Amino acid sequence: MDGVVLESRPCPNGCPPADRPVIEGQDRLHGFAGRFTVVQCSACGLMRTDPRPTADTIGAYYPDDYGPYLTTPTVRVKPSTWHRRFKARWNRFLGKDVRRLPDRPPGRMLEIGSAGGAYLLEMQAKGWTVEGIEFSPTAAQKARERGLDVRTGSLETAAPPQRQADVIAAWMVLEHLHEPLAGLRKMREWIQPDGHLVAAVPDAAALERRVFGEYWYGLHLPAHLYHYTPASLRQLLDKAGWELCAMHWQPNPNNLLNSLEWKAEAEGRERLLHFARWMKQSPRAGRLRKWLGWLLGITRQSGRMEFWARPKQKPRP
């Protein structure tokens, strides 16, 4: 694309330069031009897009109609305390709970990549004192118009919050960072010693990534700069000063269905394309989508993993 500058960067873990190409693909979400390669570090196994757009020019791949920027806050009738507890336990039993927080009272929350503020508004309604950092000026402005304290900028360039957070949320963010190790270390300094990082990333170890190849929805080139597996994520968190304490897979069929649609469309398989779109869009397929998402979640094959991490305690001098 005009104005986009590419750069090649080594493994952030400081490994010797020994990478192998894994896959090549293009932007299928918006149809922007360019082919990009994902390589895997032979030493630690972390996958990254290389070469990649620089931090100053990657904004071209985040138009104002980028999906997360368009999320609209919803107003719900607040159910009784008993009903909320029952529903939370039932969803946890079924593996249907997403964006779940550790069991702790409301405090200060910082969301990285807060988009238009939908999640922050939801948590504010639950008693949290919230603030956010958002890369997109348009999305950040929408959040401020909703009365939220959201700063415009990237994690890498952001100033620290006025007070340390009890929880830092980063939903589908780490894969977008140019310097994930530095970003995780920065968040480590912004959180209370007993705080939690709650986050989600695509799971590049999922079977669907190998089945669909460049048509895998979770690939999202070139906006996704890093592609994590449970093992490589754990290693990066440990190096950045975090202890991984919980992980589960979202009960979500969207990665699979979108991947199926893209592959069927590219190969001209009309019946398969019709089926994929029916599964995605038809109200009659709603129950099938729910059961498919549940099955993918409990088998750890949804391609979307959530995790909790807490800061490792620094050794006393």
61 part of a folded domain: no
- 211-223 pLDDT, tens digit per residue, is 999 999 999 999 9
Instruction: Please give the model's pTM, rounded to 2 decimal places.
Output: 0.88
Over the chain, what is the mean pLDDT? 90
40 part of a folded domain: no
106 part of a folded domain: yes
Mean pLDDT for 6-18 is 94
> Tell me, what DSSP letter sits at residue 276?
H
14 part of a folded domain: no
The whole-number pLDDT of residue 162 equals 85
- 246-292 pLDDT, tens digit per residue, is 999 999 999 999 999 999 999 999 999 999 999 999 999 999 999 99
192 part of a folded domain: yes
> Tell me, what DSSP letter sits at residue 75?
-
Alpha carbon distance 30, 94 (integer Å): 34
Q: What is the dihedral of CA 140, 144, 149, 155, to 10 degrees?
A: 10
3-state secondary structure of 106: coil
Domains of the chain: total = 1
13 part of a folded domain: no
Alpha carbon distance 276, 90 (integer Å): 29
Asked if pLDDT for residue 316 goes beyond 60, the answer is: no
Alpha carbon distance 214, 16 (integer Å): 27
124 part of a folded domain: yes
Mean pLDDT for 37-46 is 96
DSSP alpha helix (H) spans, 40-179: 81-94, 118-125, 137-145
Packing angle, helices 286-298 and 254-266, rounded to 10: 110
Q: What CATH number should be reported for the domain holding residue 157? A: 3.40.50.150
Alpha carbon distance 100, 111 (integer Å): 14
Range of the structural domain that residue 293 is part of: 85-311
5 part of a folded domain: no
